[in-house]
Structures are given as C-alpha cells and as structure tokens.
Amino acid sequence: MATTQRVRFDVLERVVHWLSALLFALLVVTAIPLYFGSLFGARLPRFSLEQVHLWAGIAFPVPFVLSLLGPWGRQMRRDVRRVNYWTREEIAWLRSLGREPLEADKFNPGQKLNAALVASSMTVMLVTGLILKWFSLFPLSWREGSTLVHDLGAWLIVALITGHVVMGLSHRDALSSMVTGRVSERWAETNAPRWLRDKTGESDSQGA
C-alpha cells in the first residue's frame, strides 16, 4: 500500500547537516592528540594538527551561515525560527521531563534544547579557539580563561553531540529523513502531529 510522504528537510539542510557533522568529527579527531598528546598511541605533528583543528573550527559555521542567506535558504530560515519558538506547553513538557501531554511540532522540545545548547557552545568554542590561536592580541587573564573554557567546553560539546547521535541511531525514521529528506505521514502523526496539521505550505506531500 502506498505511504504518503512528507518533506522534512530539503537538500540544502541535509548538506549543511552532514558537512557540519564532518567538520565536527575532524575537530574531535584533531582535539584528541592536542589534549592527550597522541591519537590512540600514534604521535602526530602538533603544528599540522593545530592547523587542521583551527581551520576546521573556522570553517564550521560557514555552511550554516551561507545556507541562511539568499532565496535558497527559505526552508532553513523557517526551520531555525521553528527551533527557536517555544510554546508554554513545550516548556511545561520539558519541565515535567516529558510527563505532561504534548502535541509536538516538527522539532520536539528535547531537540530544540539540544540545538540551542549545541549552537551556543560551538559559538563559545569558536571564540575561545580564536583567542587561543591569536593569544598575543589578548590580556593574559583572557588567555587563561579561554584555555579553561575551551577544555571544559570540549567535554560538554562531545557529550551533547554523543546524545544527539545516540538519539538519531535509536530513531531510525528521523535519521533516514536526514538522508532522504522525507518521513511518512504515519510517522509524523505520532511524532510531530502539530507540524502535520500545519498547512502553511512549508512542504509538499507525495505518495511513495
């Protein structure tokens, strides 16, 4: 029987997501030897590691920022607004740790909170990373503070992204929508009913 499909992410959103994932993986792989001195026993040239780490960090926000500009970013801008918009019911749901009833939107409150924490901590990592690199431009107290915040932030962001990956792997339909762009209306009925009923014309439907 044909299942009606709904577009959840357009091509640009998927490309930005996977590029960000790639750059984040590069940041983590280069951060390990910078912090521990070796990558699982392999000693790598520190200067090259630092360059790859630094430029992966500087490149990190570029795909996202570019995706917001221009006519191509219509759906990305709409989704960013959705992620940033909180209803009273969503806050109550989060406060009750999911016990309150909720008619979820396209993104549930857990996803919204994760997105806000990832965006703010990556901004902090970028700013402190730039201070670590161009340290001579800043007073000593800023450099010391940045080293501490960058090191502690690294643990936090790795924990946040690990949580995000675990949730993705345990919700296969949500994960595959980040590959194919689509979800079934049956999935949306259970997981995102408010979005399903939103007739503002943000996405098309197609029998598959």
CB of residue 110 vs ligand HEM: minimum separation in angstroms? 21
Q: Does 23 bind ligand HEM (CB under 6 A)?
A: no
Q: Does 60 bind ligand HEM (CB under 6 A)?
A: yes
Q: Does 151 bind ligand HEM (CB under 6 A)?
A: yes
Reduce the DSSP state of residue 75 to 3 states and report it: helix
Q: What is the DSSP string of 127-161?
A: HHHHHHHTGGGS-HHHHHHHHHHHHHHHHHHHHHH
Nearer to ligand HEM, 125 or 174 (CB): 125
Q: How far apart are CA 90 and CA 102, in angstroms?
A: 7
List the one residue from 83, 132, 149, 188 that touches ligand HEM (CB under 6 A): 132
Contact 80, 68 (CB under 8 A): yes
Sign of the four-CA dihedral 24, 117, 62, 105: positive
**Of 12-20, 50-58, 64-72, 187-195, which segment contacts ligand HEM by CB under 6 A?**
50-58
CB of residue 169 vs ligand HEM: minimum separation in angstroms? 20
Q: Does 149 bind ligand HEM (CB under 6 A)?
A: no
Nearer to ligand HEM, 47 or 99 (CB): 47
Nearer to ligand HEM, 132 or 183 (CB): 132
Interior/surface letters 27-52, b for 16+ CB within 10 angstroms, e for the rest: beebbebeeeeeeeeeeeeeeebeeb
Contact 149, 122 (CB under 8 A): no
Binding site for ligand HEM (CB under 6 A): 27-28, 31, 34-35, 50, 53-54, 57-58, 60, 122, 125-126, 129-130, 132-133, 150-151, 154, 157-158
